[in-house]
Amino acid sequence: MLFGNSTAKHFVLGYDLGEEVSQISFLASDADMPETLSVLAGAELYNIPTVLCKKKDVNQWFYGKEAVRNIKQDDGIAVKGLISAAKDGKPVVVGETEYDPVALLTLFVKRSLSLLSMEMSLDYVDAIMFTTRSLDSRMVRVLGAVSQALELRTKNVFYQSHEESFYNYMLYQPDELTRHGVLACDYDFGELSVYGMDLNYRTKPVVATINVKRYSDMDLHGEGLPKDAALFHKTCEKLDDEFLKVCEKVCSDKVISTVFLLGDGFREKWTKRSLEFLCRTRRVFQGNNLFSKGASIAARERIRPTDGAQRFVFLGDDKLKTNIGMKVLKCGTEVYVALLDAGVNWFEAKKSLDIIMDQSGILNIEVTPVTGGKPRIVQLCLEGLKERPRGTTRLRIFMNMSSVNEVYVKVTDLGFGELFPATGQIWEQTIGV
């Protein structure tokens, strides 16, 4: 299966953009599973430090590991916290010069994408999915600005949270791994993040939900494990105890069949009692590139959905959890027209529909939760709508979302050709969902 029109091999990318480190995974058109780009050929070194460095007194910039090396040699000015700075929007002072924070983040992303040159040409990349730990409205705006500034050949650029990338990764795993709950524990010696995924097989399509909990008791405040042998041993025991408490608590609430241990924090062999507990009745995997791989799978599903993925719908914090539509007459028969579907990211939800309005001047919008609850009708009263003969009032309904809980509706009078010119009337309403 090829993504493009060319007979050449094509790719989709999953870019995990993190505050400390980033990763890039890619999925070839002739491959079943993604690979992750290593910063060193022949090694499994996936992390690209999310940092820039400007050489002193020269307009020369370094990124990633090269930036870290120059900073350690005191040969440049460090620029860290690129994501936070871009979300904040304030100019970043490097030396005596101010820089646009989005431009700096774009520079990092562009330079890091150049690492792919050994594997592929960006001309053969058909889609990119950026994934981040959190995806609020400010992060969406930042990623949109970065994507536009990159001037990529492909227009298929998407964004999603780590939760959804976890879900997408599990889509390509054997069914036996998802028979019960699935955990992904992400730890880099800071806050521990535990992602718990459940699949409700009683619904059609199967509804997937992910609950995220953060734990601070294992936070080593950026220092990592101590080098002193006695202190190292003591710290490892403390981490093992704290992680065991978390595992026991999470696993007491529901049946867990599969556990993923993610991040560099699990590379050290301190998980003795906790790992023994997890392995009793569960499959346990270790790695640190699940989110970027999941993002690349998501990129493929966006442009070439597979039959397997159609069986599921993911309802995360960024998703619309209701179906929104209306009934209209078509050839004399009343039919339901979908406007916005549950499972779409709120920041991507958009629909435009032209209709011929009846004489009532009232639009009935149906809001149907997919997580349970009764459907409801929201009425839009088009006050002041110009009276015309039946079948000559044409309206355009436009919908998008201003947040995950709010649907904006705009109705415009289009008139009916030269016989009944448009009045320019507009009606607006926000629906809570």
**Alpha carbons 327 and 338: distance in angstroms, whole number:** 9
User: Which segments of 102-156 are extended strands (E)?
Assistant: 125-132
- Cα 95 to chain centroid distance, Å, stands at 34
Contact between residue 13 and residue 137 where contact means Cβ atoms under 8 Å apart: no
Contact between residue 198 and residue 254 where contact means Cβ atoms under 8 Å apart: yes
User: In CATH, which of 3.30.70.260, 3.30.499.10, 3.30.110.70, 2.60.34.10 is domain 322-432?
Assistant: 2.60.34.10
pLDDT score, position 2: 46
Torsion of Cα atoms, 169 then 170 then 175 then 176, to 10°: 120
pLDDT score, position 122: 92
- The phi and psi torsions of 294 (rounded to 5 degrees) equal -60, -35
Region of 331 on the Ramachandran plot (φ > 0 left; ψ -120 to 50 alpha; else beta): left
For residue 403, give both structure tokens: 């947040």
What are the boundaries of each domain within the chain? 174-291, 322-432
Same fold, 174-291 and 322-432: no
Higher pLDDT, 229 or 6: 229
Q: Please report which confidence band the pLDDT of residue 161 belongs to, taking 50, 70 and 90 as the band edges.
A: very high
Q: Please report which confidence band the pLDDT of residue 39 belongs to, taking 50, 70 and 90 as the band edges.
A: confident
Q: Which of 360, 426, 377 is nearest to 398 (CA)?
A: 426
For the stretch 243-262, what's the b/e string if a residue is b when 16 or more beta carbons lie within 10 angstroms of its beta carbon?
A: bbebbeebbeeeebebbbbb
DSSP conformation letters of 38-71: -SSTTS----EE--EEEETTS--EEEHHHHHHHH
- In CATH terms, the fold of domain 174-291 is Nucleotidyltransferase; domain 5 (3.30.420)
233 DSSP 8-state letter:
H
pLDDT score, position 1: 42
For residue 98, give both structure tokens: 């101010």
**pLDDT one-digit tens code per residue, 75-127:** 899 999 999 999 999 999 999 899 999 999 999 999 999 999 988 999 999 99
pLDDT score, position 118: 86
- Say what the pTM is: 0.89
Percent of the chain whose predicted confidence (pLDDT) is above 70: 98
pLDDT score, position 206: 87
- Cα 231 to chain centroid distance, Å, stands at 39
Q: Rounded mean pLDDT of the chain?
A: 92
